[in-house]
Each structure stands twice: as C-alpha cells, then as structure tokens.
Amino acid sequence: MSMMEWIVIIGGIAAVIWINWYFFLARQPMVSAAIGVAGVREIAIVVEGGFHPAMVSVKRDKLVRLVFDRRERSGCSEEIVFPDFGVRKFLPAFRKTTIELTPTQTGDFEFTCGMSMLRGRLIVQD
Amino acid sequence: MPTTTPLILIEKRNPENTAQTGTNAVTAHEKVTIPVKGMTCAACQARVQRALQAKPGVLDASVNLMLKNAAVTYDPVMTSPMALVETIREIGYGAELTARDQTMLDEQEAQDQAQEEEYGELRRKALLSGSIGLLAMALSMPLMGAFKEEVHAPVADPFMRWAMESMTPAIHAVAPWLYTFTPWVLSYALLALTLLVMGWAGGHFYVRAWSAFRHHSANMNTLIAVGTGAAFFYSVLATVAPEFFLSRGMLPDLYYEAVIMIIALILTGNALEARAKRQTSVALRRLVELQPKTARVVRAGAEVDIPVNDVQSEEIVIVRPGERIPVDGAIMSGTSAVDESMVTGESLPVEKQPGDRLIGGTINRTGAFRYRATTLGSDSVLAHIVKLMRDAQGSRAPIQRLADQVSGIFVPMVLSLAIATFVIWFVTADQAPAVRAFAAAVAVLIIACPCAMGLAVPTAVMVATGKGAEGGILIKGGEALQRASQITTVVLDKTGTITEGRPTVTDVVPVLGSECSEKDLIRLVASIEASSEHPLAAAIVRYAKEQALSLATVDSFHSVTGRGATGVVDGAALAVGNEALMADYAVDLTTVKEEAERLAGEGKTPMYIAINGKLAGLIAVADPIKPTSREAIHRLKRLGLTVVMLTGDHHRTAEAIARQAGIDRVVARVLPDGKVAEVRRRQQSGEVVAMVGDGINDAPALAQADVGFAIGTGTDIAIEASDVTLMRNDLHGVASAILLARRTMRTMKQNLFWAFVYNVVGIPVAAGILYPAFGILLSPILASAAMAFSSVSVVANSLRLRRARVA
C-alpha cells in the first residue's frame, strides 16, 4: 500500500470518528427560559435549518412562552409540533410565533417540524 | 382510551407578535375588535374609550361610534378580550366578543398561501437551473475531446460521460462554434454558471446546512451541501490548478454540470413534493373555504350585509335560497332544505323548521328564512372541525416511532458511509482511484433520502383525516387511526345508536279490574315522568301532550337509576319502571306477565305501573331502529368484526331489536356503569374494542374503549370524549372509518417499507457494491434523480388514499 493510501485510510477513520463525536456526543447547548418583562418565562427559538437552541429547559407547572422566530421560507420548517402537548402551529416565514405551555410533568418532550425532520427537546425539570 | 392527553396548553390566538427587547424577552401585542352596544353619542364613545384606556394592559383603544365597535391593542399577559368586554359592560354598555378569533381558519389560509408561494419559487428555480444545466452540458461537450491534448480533462460522472458522448455528433452539427472556444474559457464559463446556480437556486441548501451544523445537527440539506460542495471544490481545484492533479498522475476532472443538474433535480423533486404536500391538506382547505365572508343581518330594522366576523351572538341573520349559511344558529321563521353534506357527509338535503339547528358553512337550498346566530368564531362547528383536523394532522401514529429513531441518526451515518466508500474505492480501485472514489462518495451523499422516512406516516395521516372529514368522519389523529385499523369488536349502544333514539308510546294496558282508565294511567305516569330525564320518560310525556292531558304536580319524586322512578301524584304513591323496581316494592306482576313478554318480543320496552303498591297497568314504549342500521351492521360483519349490542332493556326486548338489526351478540340489562365493565371485560380477553355511542351518556365507555366513536353529533363533549366523531347520525360511518383506518395503515406500511428499502438498497448501489460483479456504478446525477423522486413517490402513494372507496 502506498503512502497516499495510508493517509487516506487514516484520514477517513479520523473523519468518521469526528463526525460521530460532533453529531452524537458533543454537548449541545441547553438554554433555560428566562423571566421576561411581563414576568413570564420566555425563550426565543430561531427556526432556520433547525431549531436554535434545540434543547430548552423549563420548569414544571410554570407557564413558559416559546417564541419561534422563523427566519426562512423553507416549507420544511413551516410548522411546529409538540406531540405530547397536542400542539401543531403554523409558523409564518420571517415572523415570530408564540406558543405558551404549562408542562405538568417532568421529562423530555420532543418538538419537531410538521414532517418530523427538524427536532428539538423541551426538558421539563422540577 | 382517549387519543391524546394534553399536558396543558394555552395557545396564543394571534401569531403576530412584535417589539423585541433583549434576546429572550419578547413582548407580544394583540388586537381585538369588540362590538359595543348602546352607544348613542360622542360622550358615550369617549366614555368607553376612557374606560378601556385606563385598563392595565391596554396599549391603545379606539372606539368608533359609526361602526359601534372598539379596536383595542393589548398585552395578552396582562389582560384578555373577555376582561375588556367586562370593562365595557361595567360602565353600562353592551359588549360581546363576536365571531372572535377566526385563527384556525386564518392560520390555515396563511399556511396555504405560504405553501403556494413556496411551490412557485421552487418551480421557477428548478426550471431555470434545469435550463442552465442543459447549457452547462453543451458547454462541457467540447471539453470531452480536449482531454487528450489539453490539461483540462472533462466529465467525471459516468452517466454524464455517456450522455455527452452520445450527443457530441449532434452538438457538432448544431453548434460547431462551441468548439472554437479554448478549454480554459469553457471551464471558467462553467464555473461561473455553477456559482450562479449554487448561489441563487441552491443557496438555501448551504445556508440551512451550515445553520444546522453550527448547532450539532444534520439534515437533508447537510447531505446535499456536502455532496455538491465537495464536487464543486474538486472542480474548482481542477480548473485553477490542473497541474496539481497531473503531477500526481490524475486527470483534472470537472463536475460542474453534475453539480448544476443535481441541484436542478433536487429542486424539481422539492417542487413536486411541495405540490403533493399541498394536496394532502386539500380537504382542510375546502372546509376553510366553506366559511362565507359576509352575512346579511337585521340591524335597526334594515337588512345590511356585514363581514361575518362582525356578526354578534343572538343577532338575526337572513338567508335566501342558494346562499351559504354564514354562522351557526337556530331557525326563527321560515322553512327550507339545507345541504349539510360538506360537514356531515349526509348526501340528502335536511329539512329545517323553526327551532332546528343550522351549521355555518352549509348551503340553503330551497326556502328563505331568518335565524338567530348562536355559536360564533372559534366556537362554531366549522371552526371545531378545522381545529380537530389540524390537531389530528399534528399527531403521531405509533408506527412512526421506528422512522423517527432512524431519521434521528440517519444523516451522520450516511456521512460516515460516504467517507468509508471513498476510502475503500481509493484503496481498491485499479484505475483512476481518486475519481471513482470521489464519484461514489458523492453518489452516496446524494442518493440518501431521510425525507421519505419523515414523510411516510404524516402524509398518510393528513390525507386520511381529510378524507374522513369530507365524509363527516372526524378522526382525532394518527394514534386513533392506527388503533381503529386493529379493531376486532364493535360494541354498539342501542338507544340513539342503533335505534332512532326517539322512543314513542305504542301500547297502554290497564290491568283488569283497575280503577284507572288508559287516559288516567297516561296522565299519572306522564306527571311523574315529566321530572325524569330518561328518553323513555320523554316519550310518555310527549304522548300525554299529544292526547291534550293536563299533568298533575308530583311530590317526593325519586329517580332510581336503571330501574325507573317513584313519586306521589294526586295523593297516590306511584312507581313506574322495570321488573326490578316492582320487585323492590313487592308488586305482583303475574296478571300482565304474558302481555309484557309479548310486547318485549316485539322489541318494545314494557314499563310497569304500580299505584299504592298494587299493579295498575303497563305502558310499552318502542324506539324503532334507524333505516340504515341493519345494512351498516352487515357491513361491519363483512369486515370480519364481532358486533355486540349493549342495552339496559329487558332480554326479550333487546333480542327483538338485535334480530331486526341483524346482531347476534346482545348484552341486555346493562346499567350505565356496566357498559365500561363490559368493554373492559372484552379488552381483557384480548379483543380490540370500539365503542359506539352518543358521546354524552356513554362518555366513560367511549374513553375505556380502544377507539371511542361518538355518533350523530358535533358537540364539544362528544368530540372530547371520542377518538372518532361521526357527524352523520348513522352507523355506516363506523364501517367507513374502520375501512379508512385499515387502508391508511396499509399505506403507512407501504410508505415506510419503500422509504427504508430505497435507502437500504440505494446507498450500497451508489457506493458501488454492484461494481465488482456487474461493473455497475451509479452516477451522482442519477442518484440525485432517485433521491428527488423517492420522497415524491411516498407523498403520491399517500395521496392515493384520497381515491380510496370507503363509503
């Protein structure tokens, strides 16, 4: 085997390890809802090729206002779905849409786009 | 069990939110227009305006005397439309929220418009980039022959190489001048065209991929961006520094036309997918369009046309033949036939008389009438249906879990596979290893399609719930659909489900030697039953009124659940009910036993009457079965389902009704609690049970059943308690819903199978698994075509459900 081939093999293995580390293991930033001007816990989530932040921490039994700021026209992100809360809402492009929830159970609740391709998690803690 | 248990949700009505301060601090303003009654002069106007402006949370209030309304901008956190209405009422004016928030309908309209715009944009981009792709292919032709003499070797994609080689003679004949350009000029022209397409038509792929990457996530755009991006940069390097390749014994291949064609094909697929996705909600759109924009109302004695949102509760609305009924209400004067097919699925027009209920959005056929507006806006039947459907379409079917799990790890796995493909080809290929490795890796990235998996289940749920709603079958969501497809047993409540639910008195039999005549008996019994809410009681009271009998006052009325009622009428202690009630009072039934048996055998319900502890007679009430019940039950049986009837009636009555309806399994003398127990008993023996009832009296049994069907009603309670609501009052809807659920389940399985198989087969083929045995290598362009059409085919398969025959 040539030197070049060894380089490609080692580089390939390193790239595969890095991809799996970056997408599966690297810590994703989790953002907690902050108390807003109106005294309600609020969090702004940018919708652009995904949900940013995608991990949102909220408190149980506390009203939280999730403001989805959709900054694209892609049909993939035109809806937000919280399956556990029975919520489906249209997100107009380049506008902010607010969803208010009061989670009554702790746990991890997924939110997705209308077709389940873009994902985020609502982490409800005591 | 109910389909979803929302944890608790307060959803905002208006999506329009403004004014941002700080990163996470967002203040939302909302606007509402409240009609105000009783304002006569400018002083009134000023008073209302001042009161509203003084209210905490109100940012702006503007009261219009001419329009008689108040437009208020407020902070929804601090106040609400209802609180504003209260403020106006407190100062002595009338106010009511009108057809308030039409949000569900508005939201659907906004979404439809956005989808239409998206489709238009994708179509435009696909067409233009496709045309540029053809031009790029033509420009690449002269480079084909150049590679022997010049440094710029051309097309690396095997499909493109074949396509161009076959087209070269034609291009030579049509555009010989193309061959006068130097390869250098052609290469840079191709680079410019590719940049144009990547930036203008495909720019969003890169922006979204980057945005996702920054947040440690990867999606479809990642694959497209990495695939086309790698091909592009490889080609740029080959254009600007061909010596780099030549010095290493490689040809400086160009992939420009492949990049353009890949983007054009993916955009074509996206456009087709957007159009197909739009069609999945066509039923919902049709429902939204049922809502008329204006209504003709009577104001100050004159008929005026006003926006439907301004109609107030209790207002009188006028409808002429052929017009759509603007809001829900009840007829005051006039009669007509109304076409309710669009809401209930009932094909024949329904006769309407004063007092009858009207549903907004239905069409008045024959007569003109006036009616009183009742439920408006988001409380209307139509808004409820639209909300239910939107919620249903957002729900998940359990079968989707597998697809969710796979698509969660899919893209990073494909990226890893593409790298592995490159390495294996690079190490093992005997000819041009780098070129082959590169083409195969790009093909792997481009062919993989997680979208098909994501679309497989939701599109089927959307089409099925829409199809159901068109036939008056409202299904609560994916989970309800999936469970409905597994039903083995259908338990039917008798009264109001199999039968008309409007019992009538058929026989009155005084006991021989009794002092009471037939009329006396009816009067006494009707007097006591007037205090009861039982449907049989209503039949007796109605019968007494038809006979023009005046009812007496009742003392000590007592209703005995599942048995009957007792009380004191004209000083006599009266007991009316079944055998069990008579046994409680030790009444001897021997004299009428035979007669009661005969009546029960005819499907009638005999009720015994005892006065002061002695039997005085019998009254028989019958509830005829609906004309459609027998055929619908036959359909259920043909679907292989076990059909069971539950009733509180006597065995003989129950059996007679069951015989008429064609049911062979009957559970008689069931008390209301017993319905739940019976459903549970059957579930414990492994049956998947559907319970069909009116949704109000049967709510606990509907909730206990695997799938609860509420029949012939569109009330909130029924919709809440059931998994499936049948707007039409006949059992055919049950069979249609189960058939639709089975078809939908089959479609979901086909879609998932196709989506998985496509990727499981497509990715290895793109990686070149067939090359050692058959010499087959997939071109990245063919891979992009396959990817684009795999998701389209899933949506198209779901759309086939629209044509499924389930009625």
**Computed over its alpha carbons, how large is the radius of gyration of chain A?**
19
B 264-283 → A contacts, CB under 8 A: 270, 274, 277
Mean pLDDT of B101-110: 64
Which residues from chain A sit within 8 angstroms of residue B404, using beta carbons? Answer: 116
The Cα–Cα gap between B414 and B405 comes to 15
Question: Residue B110 and residue A92: Cβ atoms within 8 Å?
Answer: yes
Least confident stretch, B233-237, B618-622, B696-700? B696-700
Percent over 70 (pLDDT), chain B: 90
Which residues from chain A sit within 8 angstroms of residue B208, using beta carbons? Answer: 48-50, 72, 74
Q: How confident is the model at residue A39 (pLDDT cuts 50, 70, 90)?
A: low
The Cα–Cα gap between B563 and B554 comes to 19
Distance of CA B733 to the CA centre of its chain: 16
pLDDT at residue B330 in the model: 93
The shortest C-alpha distance from B113 to chain A (Å) reads 10
Considering only residues B370 and B83, tell me which one the structure prediction assigns the higher pLDDT.
B370
Which residues of B belong to the active site? Answer: 493
The shortest C-alpha distance from A106 to chain B (Å) reads 10
Residue B70 pLDDT > 60, yes or no?
yes
pLDDT at residue B718 in the model: 66
pLDDT at residue B24 in the model: 31
Whether B110 has its CB under 8 Å from any CB of chain A: the answer is yes
pLDDT at residue B422 in the model: 94
B 425-444 → A contacts, CB under 8 A: 426-427
- The residue count of chain A comes to 126
The shortest C-alpha distance from B207 to chain A (Å) reads 8
Query: Of A36, A99, A114, which is closest to B25 when you measure between CB atoms?
Result: A36
Question: Residue A85 and residue B6: Cβ atoms within 8 Å?
Answer: yes
Q: How confident is the model at residue B754 (pLDDT cuts 50, 70, 90)?
A: very high
Which residues from chain A sit within 8 angstroms of residue B15, using beta carbons? Answer: 89-92, 95, 97-98
Across B334-471, the runs of DSSP E, i.e. the strands, are 336-339, 350-352, 357-358, 363-364, 369-373
**Secondary structure class of B290 (helix, strand, coil):** coil
Complex-level ipTM: 0.80
Residue B499 near residue B657, CB atoms below 8 Å: yes
- Minimum Cα–Cα distance from B21: chain A residue: A37
Mean pLDDT of B557-574: 86
Q: How confident is the model at residue B681 (pLDDT cuts 50, 70, 90)?
A: very high
Least confident stretch, A120-124, B205-209, B595-599, B788-792? B788-792
The Cα–Cα gap between B701 and B313 comes to 35
Question: Residue B12 and residue A100: Cβ atoms within 8 Å?
Answer: yes
Percent over 90 (pLDDT), chain B: 25
The shortest C-alpha distance from A37 to chain B (Å) reads 6
pLDDT at residue B7 in the model: 37
Considering only residues B526 and B699, tell me which one the structure prediction assigns the higher pLDDT.
B526
Distance of CA B526 to the CA centre of its chain: 45
Q: How confident is the model at residue B154 (pLDDT cuts 50, 70, 90)?
A: very low
pLDDT at residue B160 in the model: 66
Which of B24, B59, B224 is the best residue to mutate to test the A interface, defined by the most A CB atoms within 10 Å of its own CB?
B24
Instruction: Give ∠ CA A23-A27-A33 in degrees, rounded to 5.
Output: 120
pTM equals 0.74
Residue B755 pLDDT > 70, yes or no?
yes
B 220-239 → A contacts, CB under 8 A: 220-221
Whether B422 has its CB under 8 Å from any CB of chain A: the answer is yes
Closest CA to B186 of B139, B134, B220: B139
Mean pLDDT of B439-453: 87
Residue B638 pLDDT > 50, yes or no?
yes
Which of A35, A65, A121 is the best residue to mutate to test the B interface, defined by the most B CB atoms within 10 Å of its own CB?
A65
Which of A85, A115, A124 is the best residue to mutate to test the B interface, defined by the most B CB atoms within 10 Å of its own CB?
A115
Question: Residue A119 and residue B395: Cβ atoms within 8 Å?
Answer: no
pLDDT at residue B19 in the model: 32
Which residues from chain A sit within 8 angstroms of residue B116, using beta carbons? Answer: none
Closest CA to B616 of B576, B664, B560: B576
Helices (DSSP H) in B429-449: which residue ranges? 433-447
pLDDT at residue B20 in the model: 32
Q: How confident is the model at residue B17 (pLDDT cuts 50, 70, 90)?
A: very low
Question: Residue B11 and residue A103: Cβ atoms within 8 Å?
Answer: no
Least confident stretch, B395-399, B414-418, B739-743? B395-399
Which residues from chain B sit within 8 angstroms of residue A102, using beta carbons? Answer: 7-10
The DSSP bridge pattern shows strands A64-70 and A41-47 to be parallel
Which residues from chain B sit within 8 angstroms of residue A104, using beta carbons? Answer: 7-8
3 state SS for chain A = CCHHHHHHHHHHHHHHHHHHHHHHHCCCCEEECEECCCCCEEEEEEECCCEECCEEEEECCCCEEEEEEECCCCHHHCEEEEHHHCEEEECCCCCEEEEEECCCCCEEEEEEECCCCCEEEEEEEC
Cis peptide before B321 (omega within 30 of 0): no
Residue B356 pLDDT > 60, yes or no?
yes
Which residues from chain B sit within 8 angstroms of residue A118, using beta carbons? Answer: 217, 219
| pLDDT, tens only, A49-68 | 788 888 899 888 888 889 99
Count how many pairs of residues, chain A against chain B, have C-beta atoms within 8 Å: 209
The shortest C-alpha distance from A126 to chain B (Å) reads 15
Residue B381 pLDDT > 70, yes or no?
yes
**Secondary structure class of B705 (helix, strand, coil):** coil
Residue B403 pLDDT > 90, yes or no?
no
Whether B6 has its CB under 8 Å from any CB of chain A: the answer is yes
Give me chain B's average pLDDT, please.
Answer: 83
Residue B535 pLDDT > 80, yes or no?
no
| pLDDT, tens only, B44-58 | 878 888 889 888 888
Question: Residue B423 and residue A9: Cβ atoms within 8 Å?
Answer: yes
